[in-house]
């Protein structure tokens, strides 16, 4: 009976994960096309140059505790409460630091406008810290339908606001408000749907039991953020916001495509594999099914996007976005196998092997830095 129940939950999780990510990508497509026609590459570049700060700040807030909570077999209020207060306090401290560091960010990029823009955009860090434990609770309980509602409603609300502001001439400020609104609305809805609520009793001692597991995930995620955003930083420093915008757009549409399958599988992978951790053969079979299902969707979707990339960008945004085509096609190859990386990470975490995850990410980061150093003088695409 337990197996049937888990099968039902897995099937429902994949279904609602697919519905959620499908709707999200449709909304992203609609809003993205509108914004693509209204804004230019420099607007996207201004926000893109700040992505690494947002990513690292979010990683510090989360510190690997979200995955640790999902990996714990027994649901305990004290564990979730400790993660909630840690994330909230960390978010406040990080925002204060970044608020005063904002002028240095502007100086680094030689863009005075980034001071006020970054201070506003970083407000999303405060909102995000309030919903980390609630999101883990939703994932732990396999409440994928509720998570789908959260993501779709937040995307719809933030997209409408972003489009309205862009149409009224707010340029990159529209993108910033859209980003903060998304985080704020999604955090509010996670509180609404989550079966768990925090208490005012602040006790961080439960974090000690998760620390040995979460610290490796934390370090890995820091390197992942650096690896992901290093190009935007280099382009923003050594080239200009417009070129960052072309790069960001090529990457954005690829990420949208790969997110359909990654989000669908991620919504159920770790919780389901964790529940099967005592039966290795059963866990292997479930893993293989997810791997095959992912390939069935991912390869046609991403390689198809690469083939029609030029026509798609011409129709969506016009001639001004043609420099993004080469990036879109290159990243589509990566996007086709991206879901596999997430699946293998999930099974490593399920078995507590976050050290392998960390070692792999360090190796990737070092190889990437060497590649950047060798190829950077030859232009952006190489």
* pLDDT one-digit tens code per residue, 192-245: 988 888 888 888 887 787 777 777 777 777 777 777 777 767 776 776 667 777
- Is 360:223 a contact under the CB 8 Å cutoff? no
pTM recorded for the entire structure:
0.68
Residue 239 DSSP code: S
Which one, of 129, 109, 96, 133, lies nearest residue 52 by Cα? 109
Q: Give the C-alpha distances (Å, rounded to integers) separating 64 from 90, 145, 353.
A: 13, 24, 13
Answer whether 204's CB lies under 8 Å from 160's CB: no
**pLDDT given for residue 2 in this prediction:** 46
Count CB-CB contacts under 10 A for residue 102: 21
Q: Do 17 and 271 form a contact (C-beta atoms < 8 A)? A: no
Percent of the chain at pLDDT > 90 equals: 11
Cα separation, 16 vs 79, whole angstroms: 27
Higher pLDDT, 3 or 40: 40
C-alpha span between 370 and 212 (Å, rounded): 30
- 210 by Cβ neighbours in 10 Å (0-12 / 13-18 / 19+) ranks as buried
Q: Average pLDDT over the chain, rounded to whole?
A: 81
317 or 11, which is more confident?
317
Q: What is the rounded distance in angstroms from the CA atom of residue 68 to the CA atom of residue 210?
A: 6
340 Cβ neighbours under 8 A, 6+ residues apart: 291, 294
Buried b (16+ CB within 10 A) or exposed e, 347-367: bbbbeeebebbbebbeeebee
> pLDDT per residue over 27-60, tens digit each?
877 887 888 788 877 787 788 778 878 888 777 7
Contact predicate 286/272, CB 8 Å:
yes
């Amino acid at each position: 009976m337990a197996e049937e129940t888990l099968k039902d939950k897995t099937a429902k999780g994949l279904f609602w994960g697919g519905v959620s990510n499908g709707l999200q990508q449709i909304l992203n497509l609609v809003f993205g096309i509108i914004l693509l026609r209204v804004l230019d590459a420099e607007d996207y570049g201004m926000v893109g140059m700040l992505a690494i700060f947002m990513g690292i700040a979010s990683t510090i807030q989360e510190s690997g505790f979200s995955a640790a909570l999902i990996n714990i077999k027994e649901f305990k209020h004290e564990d979730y409460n400790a993660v909630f207060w840690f994330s909230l306090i960390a978010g406040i401290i990080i925002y204060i630091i970044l608020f005063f560091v904002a002028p240095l960010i502007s100086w680094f990029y030689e863009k005075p406008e980034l001071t006020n823009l970054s201070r506003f955009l970083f407000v999303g860090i405060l909102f995000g810290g309030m919903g980390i434990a609630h999101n883990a609770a939703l994932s732990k309980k396999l409440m994928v339908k509720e998570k789908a509602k959260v993501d779709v409603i937040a995307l719809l609300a933030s997209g409408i606001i972003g489009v309205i502001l862009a149409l009224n001439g707010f340029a990159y400020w529209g993108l910033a408000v859209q980003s903060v609104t998304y985080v704020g609305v999604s955090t509010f809805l996670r509180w609404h749907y989550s079966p768990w609520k925090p208490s005012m009793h602040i006790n961080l001692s439960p974090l000690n039991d998760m620390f040995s597991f979460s610290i490796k995930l934390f370090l890995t995620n820091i390197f992942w953020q650096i690896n992901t955003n290093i190009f935007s930083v280099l382009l923003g420093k050594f080239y200009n916001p417009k070129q960052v915008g072309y790069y960001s757009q090529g990457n954005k549409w690829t990420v949208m495509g790969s997110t359909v399958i990654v989000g669908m599988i991620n919504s159920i992978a770790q919780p389901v594999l964790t529940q099967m951790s005592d039966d290795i053969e059963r866990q292997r079979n479930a893993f293989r099914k997810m791997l095959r299902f992912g390939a069935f969707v991912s390869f046609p979707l991403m390689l198809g996007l690469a083939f029609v990339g030029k026509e798609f960008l011409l129709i969506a945004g016009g001639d001004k976005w043609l420099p993004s085509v080469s990036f879109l096609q290159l990243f589509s190859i990566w996007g086709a196998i991206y879901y596999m990386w997430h699946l293998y990470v999930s099974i490593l975490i399920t078995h507590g092997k976050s050290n392998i995850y960390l070692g792999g990410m360090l190796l990737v980061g070092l190889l990437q830095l060497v590649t950047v150093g060798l190829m950077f003088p030859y232009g952006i695409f190489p």
